Amino acid sequence: MDFFNECYLNGIGVGVGDPQMMTLKAVNAIRNSDVICLPRKDKEQCMAYKIARESVPEIDEKEICCFEFEMTKDRDKLDKIHQNIYDTVRGFIDDKKIVSFLTIGDPTVYSTFSYIAKRAKTDGFEVNIINGITSFCACAASLGISLCDLDDELHIIPDVSKLKESLKLPGTKVLMKCARHIEYIKECLWKYEKEGKIEVYAVSDCGSEDEKRFYGTKDLPHEGKYMMTIIIKDRTLL
């Protein structure tokens, strides 16, 4: 695979929980890495690492670099966090080490890696993105449903503050990172569901041993989980 010769920085998606859902490319890229970067203080607490280790035990022979960072929406703080991570990564690249950043899901969808990649590209380094299965696809598969058919639109909504607006969009809506607002979400969804306009599904901890599936708004838990994805299918299109 030619990219191993040229590319010192890889962003690798490991999917959401089932180690078998890693791609062949992700497995090979981890095997060919010198350094594995993880978005957690401790590898034993890092889900991406635990997923990867199941399918690629050789990961434990690699140099592991853990980054602890605050979850924040403050742009200045984020900038500083990303710059610090990049400075370390840059050090590895300068030492001609192949560095791979593991991300849950896919590196192109809400991942910290994209900020590191931007900085690396600005410095003239080539960056290799290796896809993983996104949470919304994995959740739909676990539920045994399709996300979208024919001309259905698919809308991924990570911020539920404008949920009432989002629910008016045609097609399927996926709510991510919905832990903190679960009661508000249930209230909004029930209004449409009781009128037969939508079908509601959710999965928490998809692909892991703790996976739970929920069918209908009334079935949703009272306490949201960070790793919960809600899928809202538009019944008016059926």
Please give the Cα distance from 210 to 11 (Å, whole number).
Answer: 26
The gap between the terminal CA atoms of the chain, to the nearest Å, is: 45
Question: Binding to its own copies by residue 131, rule CB under 8 A?
Answer: yes
Q: How far is the CB of 114 from its own copies (least distance, A)?
A: 4
Question: Binding to its own copies by residue 25, rule CB under 8 A?
Answer: yes
Question: Binding to its own copies by residue 179, rule CB under 8 A?
Answer: no
Query: Interface with its own copies by CB under 8 A: which range of 33-41, 157-165, 193-201, 219-227?
Result: 157-165
Please give the Cα distance from 168 to 170 (Å, whole number).
Answer: 6
What angle do helix axes 47-55 and 24-31 make, rounded to 10 degrees?
A: 90
Site for its own copies in 41-80 (CB under 8 A): 55, 73
> In this structure, how many other beta carbons lie within 10 angstroms of the beta carbon of residue 189?
23
Nearest CA to 87 out of 47, 29, 79 is that of 79
Site for its own copies in 83-122 (CB under 8 A): 106-111, 114-115, 117, 121
Give contact residues for its own copies (rule: CB under 8 A).
Answer: 1, 15, 18-25, 27-28, 55, 73, 106-111, 114-115, 117, 121, 127, 129-134, 137-138, 140-142, 144-159, 166, 169
